């Protein structure tokens, strides 16, 4: 073949490939646009609270159909009000996500001022919705309240919220019953708070600075410093602090240490007890810890325990920290009677109370 003809043939081939690629892209764009429009239509139908409008979008969605129709009925019973509606977007191949922020009665009953965002994840095949999943950014208190209702109001779970084959039979009635249950949960929580370890208006310190050391609440950020501190003084702490070989011990893992920090942080945030790491002024070393907890014995509002590492104990810091802690607790915490087991009362006497 003549050279010019070969060049022309090659050019035509490249043009054909390019046109084919462009055509595929155009088709893909058109399919995505149609799927996005369908997704928006489904969201419109869902929040119309009319199942006859929603069901046609779910006819090929398999098991998801009953679940989403049930969720629509729940949303209607929960008085869902759309606060913000983000455009549906391509989440991954063949899956479109639609995020909707709503105000709803169950969450309003929890008095957090929070508006939950529900995200619908729609799977498409050939332009048809074949699957729907949902996810939500519910706060922890939502699940706490649900467990409370399950434990304290079984008639709700066995009545309007009863499930058969995993599907609620009366989801709208369930949402209304759950809302009422959450209100009762909040009443119980407030009553508990009224008799809580510390008054509701009291804010526990989150940083205490002195000329020689600082106090910071224990939590994940301190896990390495805390671990290094007590692992350096195992035998010392077993004798002077826990009076037990159960803690600390040489087999404590990094995972154990982190879980301990998460537990202390959770108790602090829930205002159940307050654990502080005592840090050197440069923040590079934990010298010990101070724990403020409800008293397990009659006659005392709180019990306070503390420890320091073996090196700091030998340097005389234990006595210094104990003296400082007594004054700090007296001046800054809302207790009338505080006990320091093993210090202001002998362990033998404390154990007999």
How confident is the model over 139-197, as pLDDT tens digits? 999 999 999 999 999 899 899 999 888 788 899 999 999 999 999 998 887 766 555 78
Q: Are residues 157 and 214 in the same domain?
A: no
Per-residue pLDDT tens digits for 13-72: 555 555 555 555 665 689 999 999 999 999 999 999 999 999 999 999 999 999 999 999
Among 165, 194, 223, identify where a domain stops.
194
The CATH number covering residue 172 comes to: 3.10.450.50
Q: Are residues 270 and 345 in the same domain?
A: yes
Structural domain containing residue 246: 208-352
Q: Are residues 333 and 258 in the same domain?
A: yes
Among 194, 220, 245, identify where a domain stops.
194
In whole angstroms, how far apart are CA 329 and each of 241, 304, 322? 19, 9, 11
* CA–CA distance, 183 with 180 (Å, rounded to integer): 5
pTM reported for the whole predicted model: 0.53
**230 near 278, Cβ under 8 Å?**
no
The answer to the question of residue 189 being in a domain is yes
Residue listed under structure tokens 């979008």: 57
**72 near 49, Cβ under 8 Å?**
yes
């Amino acid at each position: 073949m003549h050279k010019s003809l070969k060049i022309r043939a090659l050019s035509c081939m490249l043009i054909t490939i390019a046109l084919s690629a462009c055509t595929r892209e155009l088709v893909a764009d058109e399919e995505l646009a149609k799927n996005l429009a369908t997704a928006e239509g489904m969201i419109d139908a869902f929040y119309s609270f009319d199942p006859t409008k929603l069901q046609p979008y779910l006819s090929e969605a398999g098991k998801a159909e009953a679940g989403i129709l049930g969720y629509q009925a729940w949303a209607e019973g929960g008085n869902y009000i759309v606060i913000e509606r983000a455009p549906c977007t391509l989440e991954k191949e063949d899956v479109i996500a639609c995020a909707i922020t709503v105000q709803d009665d169950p969450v309003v009953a929890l008095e957090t001022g929070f508006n939950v965002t529900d995200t619908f994840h729609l799977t498409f095949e050939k332009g048809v919705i074949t699957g729907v999943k949902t996810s939500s950014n519910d706060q922890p208190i939502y699940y706490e309240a649900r467990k409370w209702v399950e434990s304290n109001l079984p008639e709700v779970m066995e009545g309007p919220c009863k499930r058969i084959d995993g599907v609620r039979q009366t989801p709208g009635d369930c949402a209304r019953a759950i809302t009422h249950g959450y209100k009762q949960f909040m009443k119980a929580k407030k009553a508990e708070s009224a008799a809580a370890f510390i008054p509701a208006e009291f804010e526990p310190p989150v940083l205490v600075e002195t000329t020689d050391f600082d106090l910071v609440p224990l939590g994940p950020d301190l896990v390495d410093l805390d671990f290094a501190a007590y692992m350096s003084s195992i035998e010392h702490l077993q004798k002077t602090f826990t009076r037990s070989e159960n803690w600390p011990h040489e087999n404590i893992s990094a995972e154990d240490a982190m879980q301990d920090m998460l537990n202390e942080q959770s108790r602090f945030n829930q205002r159940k007890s307050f654990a502080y790491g005592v840090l050197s002024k440069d923040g590079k070393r934990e010298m010990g810890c101070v724990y403020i907890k409800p008293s397990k014995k009659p006659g005392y509002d709180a019990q306070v325990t503390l420890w320091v590492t073996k090196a700091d104990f030998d340097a005389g810091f234990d006595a210094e920290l104990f003296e400082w802690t007594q004054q700090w607790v007296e001046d800054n915490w809302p207790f009338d009677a505080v006990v320091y087991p093993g210090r202001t009362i002998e362990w033998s006497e404390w154990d007999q109370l």
